[in-house]
Amino acid sequence: MRRVVLLAVVGGAVLVPATAASGGHHASKLPLALVPLQTAHLGLAGKSLKLDYGSGPKFIRDVGLKAFDVRNVIGDGFRAGGGVARYALDYGDPFTGSTGVMEIRTGVEEYKTPADAKKGFALWRHVDSFLQIINPGNFPPKKLKAPPFGQQSFAYLRTWAAPHLNPIVSLDEQVVAGKFVLDLTVTAGSASAAKKVAPHLLRVLYHRFQLMLKGHLAGKPAKLPPKPHAGQAPSGPDLSTMILQPSDVGQSQAADLSQHYVAFPPALSEYAMVLHPAGPYDGGLGQQIFWWPTATEATYAEAYLSALFVKRYGEGSAVDVSLVGDNATGSLVDGGDDGSEVAVTLTNGQAGEFIVGLSTGAAPAPTDSDVQSLAQAAANRLDAGLP
């Protein structure tokens, strides 16, 4: 199981099964694409947010914090649970470091029957109420007053935290109305910022939904962003020159080596590598190197991806790697009978790096010294490859 997790982490779609984003063709006879809020409906808080690639009929949620959304794990269960079609528009990026609103996502799901919709709604409520298991900072979701729409509704506030950074707060509100489920998620740098805009946005979403049912919803669907292409960013360095080599972990050669560019927006470029075996990491070593739009996004993305990973896969202990430079962080995760894992992050300007090493337990468990050595080798490669 741990080997599978390692491969998934460095494959580009972090922790997301390959089939999870599939939503099938748009089978509804209704213009669902017109219901989610577009830029003109987002107000001052959202007018500058760009439409994210994860928008459209497939609910692609494999970037940043979205990568850890349980929706991905049960993606194909939508149709099995009576789902007909769905459509969402996702604006913004949760890693900008702002204290205001950073991301607004609205969506609508259509089911075969009202009973199916209630089951889908119940599933999302269950998901939101138990997401603290992957919530670094130990902030359990806070249940808020339910929105006054539809037959049933709920609202949950989730807070993620990483050392020395602004929190990332996500307010999720959902409404079941007949055979439909409406969804609004506002992500901000504070609970007050999210709470300030969410009620109005949900009213607008519900109003547009009602207009659709009456056949009065006019306009055109938002133009979706083009599918991103894997490769070197036009303004960035060749990330393939920065990957670790077998010799960096005491391995003469790799029996199994996989490396390639991956499309992973909002990162402008990503290069992923899996090395097996890898010295003390007999279960394999995975590495992701990103080129982010800004240095701030690199800092926030690496810190939160690392914190989420450690929280989800065991009780991690921090390892001091401050002498390495490049804002390095290191941790050891005790997976019990499954072995141990090492997680390392680095950032240098727009470059960010996330490394995971797995020891199955058949070999001696990694030590603090192993973590420090891995971080130093990665930093040397990273710095040498930057302009």
User: Does residue 312 register a pLDDT over 70?
Assistant: no
Give backbone dihedrals phi and psi of 102, rounded to 5 degrees, phi first: -115, -20
Of how many residues is the chain composed? 387
CB 251 within 8 A of CB 313: no
311-329 average pLDDT score: 81
| Confidence at 129, pLDDT banded by 50, 70, 90 | low
Total-model pTM: 0.83
User: Does residue 10 register a pLDDT over 50?
Assistant: no
User: Does residue 314 register a pLDDT over 90?
Assistant: no
Distance CA 338, CA 234 (A): 41
**Domain boundaries for CATH 3.40.1000.70 within the chain:** 239-385
Radius of gyration of the chain (CA): 21
Q: What is the pLDDT of residues 46-87, one digit of tens each?
A: 999 999 877 888 655 444 455 444 444 444 566 667 878 889
CATH for 16-214 is 3.40.1000
**Closest among 380, 95, 102, 87 to 245, alpha carbons compared:** 380
Residue range 239-385 in CATH 3.40.50.2300: no
Q: What is the pLDDT of residues 185-213, one digit of tens each?
A: 999 999 999 999 999 999 999 999 999 99
Q: What is the pLDDT of residues 165-186, one digit of tens each?
A: 898 898 999 999 999 999 999 9
Specify which residues 343 forms β-bridges with: 331, 356
Q: What is the pLDDT of residues 255-306, one digit of tens each?
A: 667 899 988 888 899 999 998 888 888 888 999 999 999 999 999 988 887 7
* Tokens 């960013």, located at residue: 233
99-109 average pLDDT score: 93
User: Which DSSP string do the residues of 139-152 spell out, in sequence order?
Assistant: ---EE-PPPS-SSE
